[in-house]
Amino acid sequence: MGITTTIPAEIVYAAGWRPIDLNNIFIAGENPSQAVDKAEQAGFPRNICGWIKGLYTTLLESPEIEQVIAVTQGDCSNTHALMETWQCAGRTVIPFAYPYDGDYDLLKLQMEKLIKALNTDWDSVYLWKQKLDRIRAKAHKLDQLTWEKGTIDGKTNHLALVGCSDFNGDPDSYDLYLDELLASSEGQEQKGSVRLGYVGVPPITLDFYDYVKEQGGQIVFNEVQRQFAMPFDEQDVVKQYQKYTYPYSIFHRLQDMECEIKRRKIDGIIHYTQSFCFRQIEDLILRQKLDVPLLTLEGDRPGLLDARSRMRLDAFIDMLSY
Amino acid sequence: MNIGLDLGSRFVKAVFFQKGEMVEQRYYDTLEFYRHYGRKVNDNLVIDDKALGWPAYNKVVSTGYGRNLLQVQGGQVIPELRAHTEGAKYQTGLQDFTLLDLGGQDSKVIKVQKGRMVDFRTNDKCAASSGRYLENMALVLGMKVEDLSSCHSYPVTLSSTCAVFGESELIGRIIEGHSLESLAAGVNETIVKRVEPMLRELYSTTVIFTGGVAYNKAIRSMLEQSLDVKVIVPKYPQLNGAIGCATYIGT
């Protein structure tokens, strides 16, 4: 079961499906750049988000993915047209919408509809929640080691948390993967001169984390990736996805950012946005509301950071370190 | 002898400092420089001092676009915005200002307080407010880029979004029969409109204006009028980054 972003994975697992986050297999694929090219050749405009184009090709080239759950509200409105192009290509799409205001009843209704569509029930969902929460607890531990002890670097943190959207379709293996990361973290300590937070969608650029580390920056907070791991102790599964900040208003996310900036003693924030994304507008709100220096970084296609982005990162880290 | 080197997108600038004083400066076309005097060896830029005819020197500090691609072998590299900040401080003696650097392909706005860079903005993947844009537009108008400098009255309205589409827009305006001065003033105003939001965001009452575009007096006066600021163009606007490198040695 393909997913276009984080959805209640418990429901998919409870129904006996394996969720596969299309974003992860697109960007970790052999040639993500070519996936974007192919979507453009199919007619996707040049000035549309690279993730959308990558997802389009990725699904069409993954015959093992039988259906896809597309998030039509709370992620990106381009998904509407994306799912329509998939439907045109004969793929089955199940829409899922996070209510903008985070309304409990509406969210519960959406989850119920998904439960019905996949032919499962709440009891099974709760059983899976217990199992997934045990794995998430390890991801939370790993996140804590990142900012508190510095024994996990920003990239490892990013990979471990971002994967919690689907647990790579195999929660048992994911559990082991996290165990290994936790075991290997002992003894190592990352020491960057500047403590940075990364906010916004995960980067489409492939060398972002390595480059920041090379320049003396230490990423101690990956905002959205951390949200994918549901960093809250919440028994009610509907409330869990209500607390999940990413699909709702920027103010919801801001509260979380402000709290973590303080807790993690962050010197500066890197706000990543995709070219052509509505979230570029939200940048001005972050600049107004956050009281630490903020660098806006823009990415378009998969690949290495361009000279401009490197220059900006250099300047930002340099500025914060002297 | 210390050398400050700014590896820009259009020109490579080298300044030579002896006992804290600039004794010489040289400009090289960027393409020519890499073709004849520099080559990349293991991610380092190896410079052919002999071919360049440089005097013996103690140290070379460089900066420039994508500085990490081009670490001069045996030299020190500093981030581009730091080089510009240091250069502006050295050239003006000021500690509190907003620096506007409009170079060959990019624009930078840096806020400096008490001698430290506290915030910055740069343009994103677009050369609309750069020297290259002015060169293109001057070519369309059949003028020298230097002559744009005196044109500030009755600017025609031009879209400030794209250096390439701007050309066809300008041609459309020429057909409408506007005077050359109005057209040139419109080109200058485009630059001002483009950088104005960044300057307002990082506002200071004093703006230090550097980069090749700073030679354009019309843009300078338009900036003063629209932002109500004092614009200072240091003696060597185009060498500011290189001077920042050379003087960085002394700090």
Enter the tokens of residue B88.
Answer: 């502006």
Q: Which domain holds residue B24?
A: 2-81+241-248
- Looking at the domain assignment, is residue B135 inside a domain? no
Q: Which domain holds residue A15?
A: 2-122
pTM score, two decimals?
Answer: 0.87
Asked if A296 and A283 touch (Cβ cutoff 8 Å), the reply is yes
Tens digit of pLDDT for each residue in B194-229? 899 999 999 999 999 999 999 999 999 999 999 999
Closest chain B C-alpha to A207 CA, distance in angstroms: 14
- Looking at the domain assignment, is residue B44 inside a domain? yes
Enter the tokens of residue B95.
Answer: 């500690």
- Looking at the domain assignment, is residue A142 inside a domain? no
- Looking at the domain assignment, is residue B88 inside a domain? no
Instruction: Check CB contact under 8 Å for A307 and B117.
Output: no
- Looking at the domain assignment, is residue A116 inside a domain? yes
Of B65, B116, B120, the CB nearest to A307: B65
Q: Structural domain tally of chain B?
A: 1
Q: pLDDT grade, residue A298 (50/70/90)?
A: very high
pLDDT at position A310 over 50: yes
- Looking at the domain assignment, is residue A154 inside a domain? no
Q: Structural domain tally of chain A?
A: 1
> How does the average pLDDT of chain B come out, rounded?
89
Of B65, B117, B118, the CB nearest to A311: B65
- Looking at the domain assignment, is residue A247 inside a domain? no
User: B147: how many CB neighbours lie within 10 A of its CB?
Assistant: 14
In A79-231 the beta strands, taken as DSSP E runs, fall at: 92-97, 194-199, 217-222
- What pLDDT sits at residue B251? 45
Looking at residue B68, which CATH number applies to its domain?
Answer: 3.30.420.40
Which residues are bridge partners to A67 per DSSP? A92
Instruction: Check CB contact under 8 Å for A314 and B68.
Output: yes
% of chain A beyond a pLDDT of 70: 99
Instruction: Check CB contact under 8 Å for A315 and B79.
Output: yes
- Looking at the domain assignment, is residue B37 inside a domain? yes
- Looking at the domain assignment, is residue A36 inside a domain? yes
Cα distance from N-terminal residue to C-terminal residue, chain B: 15
- What pLDDT sits at residue A100? 92
- Looking at the domain assignment, is residue B177 inside a domain? no
pLDDT at position A159 over 90: yes
pLDDT at position B122 over 90: no
C-alpha closest to that of A260 among A302, A300, A297, A232: A232
The ipTM estimated for the assembled molecules is 0.77
Of B68, B106, B119, the CB nearest to A310: B68
C-alpha closest to that of B104 among B2, B197, B211: B211
- Looking at the domain assignment, is residue A63 inside a domain? yes
Q: Determine phi and psi for A18, rounding to 5 degrees.
A: -105, 115
Contacts of A307 in chain B (CB under 8 A): 65-66, 69
| β A2-3/B71-72 pair status | unpaired
CA–CA gap between residue A258 and residue A171 (Å, rounded) = 31
Tens digit of pLDDT for each residue in A28-75? 999 999 999 999 999 999 999 999 999 999 999 999 999 999 999 999
- Looking at the domain assignment, is residue B179 inside a domain? no
Looking at residue A74, which CATH number applies to its domain?
Answer: 3.40.50.11890
- What pLDDT sits at residue B103? 86
Greatest mean pLDDT among A82-91, A309-318, B29-38 lies in A82-91
- Looking at the domain assignment, is residue A101 inside a domain? yes
- Looking at the domain assignment, is residue B194 inside a domain? no
- Looking at the domain assignment, is residue A197 inside a domain? no
